[in-house]
Amino acid sequence: KERWPWQKEFIQAVTEFVNAVRPVLESDPKYKKHAILERIIVPERTIIFRVTWERDNGDIEVNYGYRIQMNSALGPYKGGLRFHPTVNLSVLKFLAFEQIFKNSLTGLPLGGGKGGSNFDPKGKSDDEVRRFCQAFMTELYRHVGSDIDVPAGDIGVGAREIGYLFGQYKKIANLHDGGVLTGKTVGWGGSLIRPEATGYGCVYFAEEMLKTKGDSIGGKRVLISGSGNVAQYAAEKVNQLGGKVISLSDSGGTVIDEDGISGEKWEYVMELKNVKRGRIKEYVEKFPTAKYYEGKRPWGLAEAEIAMPCATQNELDLDDAKALVKNGCMVVAEGSNMPTTLEATDYLLENKVLFAPGKASNAGGVATSGLEMSQNSMRLFWTKEEVDSKLHNIMVNIHQSCLDAAKEFGHPGNYVVGANIAGFLRVAKAMIDQGF
Ligand code: NDP
């Protein structure tokens, strides 16, 4: 806090974590003796590099590239790449830090990492995105590999970008290392269900939370923010389980559709966002009974029992939390990473809202990336049903681990405490076993 006060997102993530795991740290002197806390908050390696690329008009542009190799106690570094103008060291360190515990919770052999660039893909041509990805990988390739560090997608990095990154890696490394990136397209190394996994997983987690109260998603109204990869498939799974999706959003504003966003409306969003790369406000031109709220987030705009933030960090603050509680919200399941501010989280917990932190509820994406890596190693592929059933099992297990840890350390039903402690214990044991 004193050395790098501007690293606000990173400080926020560490604060939540330390508050949650304090009882464990104090329960056994070995954590202090092995300096586990001091070691876990410092990245093993941070790589920062220049990315120089060419616009269609011949102008040269320069961006920052980053890879944070945070912790390798459990396996190769694993975590996505984010391309967004807000990317800086603080954002990527918070994401890499969260990734350590998320990956641990999946039970798979995955360390934690994250990377990206302040490059903004919006408004760039396909050729420009390709040239940027090639330039980015021209430096990154020397730091990654299927047993070293395995990046994937995140905000601004989807199947198109992973394809360009993989093509460049293969060319300059002279190595068809299928497991060097996950989120590959099905047909050349990708896993079925990987695009769906984070959104589906988040809804599976919410369903498990509701089961503890003898309830389910069926018949519930659900506010979802974002309209990218995670939001799209969270919406699909909510619809499949009989819930009603009331909202979707992007950085321009929110669409509220009281009739529910399903069927041809959901298909329209998929086309709008993934093919046309358009804005969510275009939805109301197509479906005029819906309403568009410029510059607004969904949380105070309609009543709902469930809220699923699926866009970005700090997109749900204290006022939003109060609006949700006032409007009858009983479950918040985070699809995005750290969408809820610390004050909002406290308010939701005080008001008995079932609250799932992203490191638990959005772990389905990286878990399925782990399954993609297994398939790449075996050089064979599982069916959609097989992958979905493994994903579902992993989410059920994560939910149970959170509940068990929360109960054991005196905070029954508190998923924030449970997720942090359950994730931490596995990593800390590995760090102690392996020496410093
Ligand atoms: P996408 O790029 O596919 O979609 C991001 C969505 O969030 C878009 O609708 C985007 O709107 C919106 N958004 C992004 N930044 C902002 C902002 N500053 N303010 C308001 N809206 C914003 O990304 P993903 O769906 O993959 O990721 C969403 C979240 O989920 C991120 O927090 C990511 O870290 C997390 N996550 C993703 C996983 C995955 O498998 N993809 C796995 C685990 C977590 P616009 O188009 O206007 O920018």
List the strands of the sheet with 149-152, edge to edge: 45-54, 60-71, 112-117, 77-83, 149-152
Helices assigned H by DSSP within 252-317 = 263-274, 283-286
With a 6 Å cutoff on the Cβ, whether 155 touches ligand 1 is yes
Is residue 396 predicted with pLDDT exceeding 90? yes
For range 201-229, the mean pLDDT: 98
Residue 107: CB atoms within 10 A of its CB come to 17
Rounded-to-integer distance, Cα 310 and Cα 294, Å: 18
Residue 377: CB atoms within 10 A of its CB come to 12
Which pLDDT does position 436 carry in this prediction?
86
Residue 127: CB atoms within 10 A of its CB come to 11
Of 82, 250, 296, 317, best ligand 1 pocket probe by most atoms within 8 Å of the beta carbon: 250
With a 6 Å cutoff on the Cβ, whether 391 touches ligand 1 is no
Which residue has a Cα nearest atom 35 of ligand 1?
A: 336
pLDDT digits (tens, 9 = 90+) for 63-111: 999 999 999 999 999 999 999 999 999 999 999 999 999 999 999 999 9
Binding-site sequence positions: 78, 99, 102, 153, 198, 229, 369
pLDDT digits (tens, 9 = 90+) for 376-387: 999 999 999 999
Helix (H, G, I), strand (E, B) or coil at 375: helix
Which pLDDT does position 228 carry in this prediction?
97
Cα–Cα separations (whole angstroms), residue 255 to 50, 237, 319: 38, 19, 20
Rounded-to-integer distance, Cα 215 and Cα 106, Å: 25
One fold for both 43-181 and 196-352? yes
With a 6 Å cutoff on the Cβ, whether 309 touches ligand 1 is no
Could you give the maximum distance between any two Cα atoms of the chain, in Å? 63
Just list the catalytic residues. 114
With a 6 Å cutoff on the Cβ, whether 227 touches ligand 1 is yes
| Domain with residues 43-181, CATH architecture | 3-Layer(aba) Sandwich (3.40)
For range 215-223, the mean pLDDT: 98
For range 378-397, the mean pLDDT: 97
Which pLDDT does position 133 carry in this prediction?
98
pLDDT cut 90: percent of the chain above it: 99
Is residue 209 predicted with pLDDT exceeding 90? yes
Which residue has a Cα nearest atom 29 of ligand 1?
A: 336
CATH of domain 196-352: 3.40.50.720
pLDDT cut 70: percent of the chain above it: 100
Which residue has a Cα nearest atom 44 of ligand 1?
A: 336
Residue 257: CB atoms within 10 A of its CB come to 21
Rounded-to-integer distance, Cα 302 and Cα 353, Å: 17
Which residue has a Cα nearest atom 43 of ligand 1?
A: 362
pLDDT digits (tens, 9 = 90+) for 25-52: 999 999 999 999 999 999 999 999 999 9
Distance 225 CA to ligand 1 centre (A): 9
Rounded-to-integer distance, Cα 372 and Cα 179, Å: 8
Is residue 151 predicted with pLDDT exceeding 90? yes
Helix (H, G, I), strand (E, B) or coil at 46: strand
pLDDT digits (tens, 9 = 90+) for 316-354: 999 999 999 999 999 999 999 999 999 999 999 999 999
Annotate 26-61 with b (16+ C-beta within 10 A) or e (fewer).
eeeeebeeeebbeebbebbebbebebebeeeeeeee
With a 6 Å cutoff on the Cβ, whether 251 touches ligand 1 is yes
Distance 118 CA to ligand 1 centre (A): 14
Binding-site sequence positions for NAD(+): 198, 229
pTM, two decimal places: 0.97
Domain ranges of the chain: 43-181, 196-352
Task: Compute the Cα dihedral for 230, 232, 235, 237 and give only its sign.
Answer: negative
Phi and psi at 309, nearest 5°, equal -70, 125
Helix (H, G, I), strand (E, B) or coil at 123: coil
Distance 358 CA to ligand 1 centre (A): 13
With a 6 Å cutoff on the Cβ, whether 337 touches ligand 1 is yes
As to burial, measured by CB atoms within 10 angstroms (0-12 exposed, 13-18 middle, 19+ buried), residue 126 is exposed
Rounded-to-integer distance, Cα 436 and Cα 434, Å: 7
ipTM: 0.99
With a 6 Å cutoff on the Cβ, whether 369 touches ligand 1 is no
Question: E strand or H helix at 130, and its extent?
Answer: helix 126-140
